[in-house]
């Protein structure tokens, strides 16, 4: 009973803390402006199933896709075994699913073990890619010590959890063969059997190792759960809603502000009566609260994998822009705003903004708006929306566009085209040819 009480207290505390942190992230996301992403639900479900569940955009890098698939499937399926551990911990039972599932239980445990080995292989491979091979896309000015350490922590935690799981099964199997205590003969152990010769033969020692690994495995999972909200690996949960709420319009479509559109329509048609809309606080985005909740959700969904930056033509030609940094800066800023709300109340202003304090104008104007980053992202994150909204603020609120753009704006206004020639001279090229 003491063990059950301790387990229930640990479980309840972990669930409470996780719920509290998730609620805080949800609050931070909803600091963004409203946007409607409820249209075409059938297409949205299809997009989520294909991209988040099916991992279809991962296959552009086949080796990484296979390794990630091992971890992804292992994480999802092995959690069925976690459900059994939770029930056993609460009710004091042992392998409670073994009797109702019968022979199927052995197949499940055997499958879990094979997946655990594949997860181990994938995690060790990814650690080597990051720390030995030093792949270029895992580096950059934004990849400071914390992002690099965060990735390593997650991989090491996965390795430790899978090792504990296999060791727990190996000791359990030996205790079953010894007919010791409550260790009923159940399960199939194709992988952990190889650990058996490394373990002691004493039943008491085996029980201590089995119980130790059992507690380490489940407490490790609960600790991992509470680490997720502070980590880039929160994408494990957010990838699904993020892909569901994807932008279903063509990638080149630029959104117009209703207030500006109404003003133009009124100029062209004096009889035009615009629909009543809320007060427009700002054209474009200067800070995270000017972005939409979907932009902020994407910031928390970013996996920092660097695929966007690795295909960005501006970044590849040595310019300052990194789409990954745009998303990481947005996440850091909205987290800072949320922390300020918690500490100082909703009226507190810290005189900082996403523009200038986090993202420089040089980064914004380096973007070619080619959508390569959007196409490359495995979970449909769109850094370009944030870039264009911040550019819109610079142009419409501050009138501080680069000189080349100001020349183009003037030509469009005066000549109806981006070039400096008047309408009357537009076809001179034809006469000269």
CATH number for the domain harbouring residue 294: 1.10.1060
Nearest to 40, CA basis, from 247, 239, 322, 332 = 247
424, part of any domain: no
Residue 233 in contact with residue 154, Cβ under 8 Å? yes
Read off the pLDDT of each residue in 398-416 and give the average, rounded to a whole number.
86
**pLDDT tens digits along 23-50:** 999 999 999 999 999 999 999 999 999 9
Which of 10, 27, 1, 8 is CA-nearest to residue 297?
Answer: 27
Spatial distance between the Cα atoms of 194 and 97, rounded to a whole number of angstroms:
24
pLDDT at 320: 94
253 lies in some domain? no
Is position 101 within any domain? yes
Residues 238 and 386 in one domain: no
pLDDT for position 184: 83
Q: Are residues 286 and 231 in the same domain?
A: no
- Please give the structure tokens belonging to residue 108: 């499940």
Closest by CA position to 175, among listed 212, 143, 204, 133: 204
Residue 189 lies in a domain: yes
Report how far residue 19's alpha carbon sits from residue 38's, in angstroms, rounded to the nearest whole number: 25
Check whether residue 347 and residue 385 sit in a common domain.
yes
**411 in a structural domain:** yes
- Closest-CA residue to 258 (of 269, 273, 243, 274): 274
- Regarding whether 395 and 280 lie in a shared domain, the answer is yes
320 in the same domain as 190:
no
Number of folded domains in the chain? 2
- Of the three residues 222, 244, 266, the one that is the final residue of a domain is 244
Containing domain of residue 342, as a range? 258-415
Say if residue 282 is in the same domain as residue 369.
Answer: yes
In a domain, 432, yes or no: no
pLDDT tens digits, 343-377 = 998 888 888 999 999 999 999 999 999 999 999 99
Co-location of 197 and 277 in the same domain: no
Do 400 and 346 lie in a common domain?
A: yes
Question: Do 320 and 408 belong to one domain?
Answer: yes
204 lies in the same domain as 334: no
Per residue in 201-260, pLDDT tens? Answer: 899 999 999 999 999 999 999 999 999 999 999 999 999 999 999 999 888 788 887 777
Last residue in a domain, options 188, 222, 244: 244
Does residue 282 register a pLDDT over 90? no
**pTM of the model as a whole:** 0.88
pLDDT value at position 420? 82
Is 425 within the bounds of a domain?
no
Angle at 277 between CA 272 and CA 281, to 5 degrees: 120
Q: How confident is the model over 144-170, as a mean pLDDT?
A: 93
Report yes or no on 120 lying in a domain: yes
CA distance linking residue 377 with residue 291, whole number of Å: 20
Residues 172 and 68 in one domain: yes
**pLDDT tens sequence across 370-397:** 999 999 999 999 999 999 999 999 998 9
Looking at 269-351, list the stretches that DSSP marks H as alpha helix, in order from N- to C-terminal side: 293-301, 307-311, 313-316, 323-344
Angle 393-396-399 (CA atoms, 0-180°, nearest 5)?
A: 100
Domain shared by 63 and 154, yes or no:
yes
């Amino acid at each position: 009973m003491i063990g059950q009480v301790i387990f229930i207290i640990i479980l309840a505390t972990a669930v409470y803390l996780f719920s509290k942190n998730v609620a805080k992230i949800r609050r931070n996301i909803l600091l963004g402006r409203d946007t409607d992403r409820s249209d075409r639900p059938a297409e949205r479900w299809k997009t989520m199933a294909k991209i988040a569940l099916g991992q279809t955009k991962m296959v552009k890098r086949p080796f990484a896709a296979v390794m990630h698939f091992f971890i992804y499937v292992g994480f999802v399926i092995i959690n069925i075994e976690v459900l059994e551990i939770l029930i056993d911990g609460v009710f004091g039972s042992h392998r409670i699913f073994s009797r109702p599932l019968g022979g199927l239980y052995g197949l499940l445990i055997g499958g879990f073990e094979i997946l655990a080995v594949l997860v181990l292989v994938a995690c060790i491979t990814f650690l080597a890619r990051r720390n030995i091979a030093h792949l270029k896309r895992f580096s950059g000015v934004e990849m400071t010590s914390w992002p690099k350490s965060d990735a390593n922590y997650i991989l090491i935690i996965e390795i430790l959890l899978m090792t504990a799981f296999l060791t727990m099964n190996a000791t359990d199997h030996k205790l079953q063969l010894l007919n010791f205590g409550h260790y009923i003969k159940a399960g199939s152990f194709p992988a952990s059997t190889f650990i058996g010769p490394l373990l002691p033969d004493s039943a008491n020692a085996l029980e201590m190792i089995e119980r130790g690994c059992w507690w380490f495995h489940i407490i490790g999972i609960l600790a991992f759960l509470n680490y997720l909200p502070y980590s880039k690996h929160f994408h494990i949960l957010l990838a699904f809603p993020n892909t569901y709420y994807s932008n279903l319009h063509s990638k080149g479509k630029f959104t117009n502000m209703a207030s500006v559109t109404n003003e133009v329509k009124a100029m062209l048609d004096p009889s035009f009566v615009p629909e009543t809309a809320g007060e427009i606080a700002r054209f474009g985005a200067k800070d995270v609260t000017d972005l939409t909740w979907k932009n902020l959700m994407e910031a928390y969904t970013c996996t920092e994998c660097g695929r966007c930056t690795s295909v960005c033509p501006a970044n590849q030609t040595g310019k300052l822009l990194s789409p990954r940094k745009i998303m990481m800066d947005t996440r850091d800023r909205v987290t800072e705003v949320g922390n300020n709300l918690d500490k100082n109340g909703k009226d507190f202003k810290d005189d900082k903004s996403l523009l200038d304090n986090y993202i420089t104008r040089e980064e914004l104007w380096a973007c070619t708006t080619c959508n390569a980053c959007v196409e490359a992202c495995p979970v449909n994150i769109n850094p370009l929306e944030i870039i264009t909204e911040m550019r819109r603020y610079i142009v419409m609120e501050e009138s501080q566009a680069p000189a080349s753009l100001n020349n183009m704006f003037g030509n469009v206004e005066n000549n109806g085209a981006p070039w400096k020639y008047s309408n009357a001279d537009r076809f001179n090229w034809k006469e000269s040819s």
